[in-house]
A and B are shown apart, each in its own frame.
Chain A
Amino acid sequence: MLSFIGRRLLQAMFVLLIISFVSFMIQDKMGDPVRQMVGQSVTLEQREALQQELGLNDPMLIQYGRFLGRAIQGDLGTSYYYKEPTIDVIASRLPATLELSFAALVLVILLAIPLGVFAAIHPKNLLSRAVLLFSTLGLSVPIFIVAVFLMYFFAIEWGILPSFGRGETTSVFGLWQSGLFNRDGLRHLLLPSLSLAFVLTPIFIRLIRAEMTDVLQSDYIRYAWAKGISAPRIYFIHALKNTMLPVITVGGIQLGTLVAYTILTESIFQWPGMGLLFMDAVTRVDVPLISTYLIFVGVIFVVTNTLVDVVYSLVNPRVRIPGYS
């Protein structure tokens, strides 16, 4: 067990090193810090002196070491556009993205579990077939089309809901600007989270249905029927528990998809989160901000995936054996 966790941690460190190296290369290759600092009005000698002073003439690996040292202390550079430390800029946008993802996940859970379970229990039912057809259709509609048309109908044509931004926010404990606690914020949240949920729900409906169908055919469920346990108890206590385990693992892996989808949703609804920040940084060629976003998202990925792996190995010891699948 310990060796398994050790291996995973080692691997996580390795991946983080690669991500940080890529980010370093981006910063190194895509910007001239000297020009950023002094502009064009300095002589060549002064420029070279400054270059020497900043250590820009050192070998690349030494520069990378310095970059890592600063990164560990939380200093990832200063944004060209916001003139603030990049990590602060990203942190200030984090609550918006987290709330959007959270709202979407709640919607996904509320929709996908009952529908997926129903489709697994009654595979021949007309509603199950409709659910499956809907999930194929849902997989086929790209998220940006969903978002655009939700916005067109609800915000423009019928004018019921706001079309962009986050609306009013309330401060929670002075550290979190939240839109979850007032009507205006929730109204703004509805359309973006609906579009996210619309494309994520089909993935989970299919997953839950497939896993549940498998579980329902296993011996222990047959035994439970023979014992005379009531149907709801078998479905929702015995079967659902074992269904959710792989679902949660795959859910952890879908985090990357979620981040990518938030970038699309946020840029359509002008939702002031990390995704919109990243797209703006790309248009403004704000190199330090781009590379910090990379490291930030990379760390979140690696930490979640390692956690999911370790938790899963605690529950299902078979995965600890290398090469087993």
Chain B
Amino acid sequence: MNVLHRPPVQGNSERVTRMRHVLVAMRGDKLALFALLIFAFYCLVALLAPLLAPYDVNSTEFMNLENAELAPAWQTGDTRFLLGTDTQGRDLLSVILHGTRLSLTIGVCAVLIQVFLGVGIGLLSGYMGGRLDAFLMRVADIQLSFSTMMVAIVVLAVFQTLFGHAAYQQLAMLMLIIVLGVAEWPIFARTVRACVFAEKEKEYIDAARILGVSKARIMLRHLLPNTVSPILVILTIQIANAIVAEAALSFLGLGMPPNQPSLGALISSGFNYLFSGAWWISVFPSVTLILMIFVMNLLGDWLRDHLNPQVTRG
């Protein structure tokens, strides 16, 4: 996972032992190893989607209504489209490959915003304490009490009405990332804060303070590296949640527009054709999405159990 930008840890040894600890434990657990392999496969597919896809999704010939709703190759014998085509005549395999890429991009970018906001606020809140902490945590409580999906549905619906449908479609991806990113910062903030609370009582922080190290430096160079494990634990699950949210919003017509290769939008358009027998349009993207979320949840659970059991009840 290269999604986490972190400053250098003091000495490389700590990171090496942590990674080794994870890798050794993983070798013993077949289910976790299997999940990791599938997840790596998804990441690879997402990275290489433009190379792997049999058709160029950006070319003008890609959407061809003459080819609409063709069944998968093993039913028709038509080898041009391995998994069949969707309602707009797009090759389903290409759309799913690009959809996976899109889902992972939106998920990772949204979680990057969450990490950036959450870690910043969590460090500040935990280290400064006092009124600032009380205020920030109340804000976090209030924000969490409105669930992310609810906030996202409302904000995106309002923006769609405000901008009009056409203009909104241009901005859909950016809006999704920002809304999903901003809505869930409290999860990271709380975890980091709890961790900082435990860490700042320790002697090395006292020592740093006495040496006259600035507050900003203590937070970023001394406290931050020690909050990495709990952040890693929630990271995978947060990405999975963001992907599900994106799919659900696209399904409702509030996310990615139907002409974009989004898994949620694809399932939604296939839904209407399910009843006329064209099952493949919604089944293949559904299976892709479910498997991706499932392995990420498995990995997240597994990391939680092995990386640091004491923060499971953050």
* A interface residues (Cβ-Cβ under 8 A, vs B): 11, 15, 26, 29-30, 136-137, 139-145, 148-149, 152, 156, 210, 214, 253-257, 259-261, 263-264, 267-268, 278-279, 282-283, 285, 287, 290, 294, 297, 301, 305, 322-323, 325
Contacts and interface: CB of A to CB of B under 8 A. Distances in A.
Contacts of B284: none
A19 B173 CA distance: 26
B145 to A, nearest CB: 5
A139 B299 CA distance: 13
16 contacts: A29-B162, A136-B298, A142-B244, A142-B247, A142-B289, A144-B267, A148-B286, A149-B286, A152-B275, A156-B275, A256-B145, A257-B150, A260-B153, A282-B157, A294-B154, A297-B150
A214 B301 CA distance: 17
Interface string B152-182: 0110011011100000000000000000000
Given A257-B147, A259-B147, A301-B146, 13 more contacts: A140-B297, A142-B290, A148-B286, A152-B274, A156-B274, A210-B313, A261-B149, A268-B271, A287-B161, A305-B145, A323-B129, A323-B133, A323-B137
A136 B297 contact: yes
A325 B194 contact: yes
Interface string B267-297: 1100100110000001000100110011011
B112 interface: no
Contacts of B297: 136, 139-140
Main secondary structure of the interface of B (DSSP, over half): helix
A149 B157 CA distance: 26
Contacts of A263: 153, 252
A140 B290 contact: yes
Contacts of A26: 158
B294 to A, nearest CB: 4
Contact of B286 (A145, A214, A285, A297): A145
B251 interface: yes
Contacts of A254: 147
A152 to B, nearest CB: 6
B144 interface: yes
B92 interface: no
A137 B297 CA distance: 8
Contacts of A30: 158, 161-162
B6 interface: no
A26 B154 CA distance: 11
Nearest to B250: A144
B240 interface: yes
A290 B267 contact: no
Main secondary structure of the interface of A (DSSP, over half): helix
Contacts of A301: 145-146
A102 B158 CA distance: 28
A144 B251 contact: yes
Nearest to A293: B154
Q: Which 6 A-B pairs have the closest CB atoms?
A: A256-B147, A260-B149, A140-B294, A140-B293, A257-B147, A260-B150
Contact of A143 (B129, B133, B248): B248
B213 interface: no
Nearest to A256: B147
Nearest to A246: B313
Interface in B209-266: 240, 244, 247-248, 251-254, 264
Contacts of A287: 161
Given A140-B290, A152-B275, A253 B144 contact: yes
Nearest to B285: A145
B138 interface: yes
A290 B161 contact: yes
B44 interface: no
Interface string B126-155: 000100011001100010111101100110
Contacts of B146: 256, 301
B39 to A, nearest CB: 13
B161 A144 contact: no
Contacts of B150: 256-257, 259-260, 297
Contacts of A325: 137, 194
Nearest to A308: B145
A322 B134 contact: yes
Contacts of B244: 142
B274 A282 contact: no
B133 A290 contact: no
A294 B232 CA distance: 35
Contacts of A137: 294
Contacts of A259: 147, 150
A148 B293 contact: no
Given A148-B274, A260-B149, A279-B252, A11 B154 contact: no
A264 B245 CA distance: 11
A141 to B, nearest CB: 5
Contacts of B145: 253, 256, 301, 305
Contacts of B313: 210, 214
A214 B309 CA distance: 13
Contacts of B153: 260, 263
A305 to B, nearest CB: 5
Contacts of A11: 138, 142
Contact of A136 (B158, B282, B294): B294
A26 B157 CA distance: 11
A92 B149 CA distance: 24
Contacts of B312: 210
Nearest to B295: A140
Given A264-B251, A267-B252, A148 B275 contact: no
B290 A145 contact: yes
B275 to A, nearest CB: 5
A282 B161 contact: yes
A318 to B, nearest CB: 15
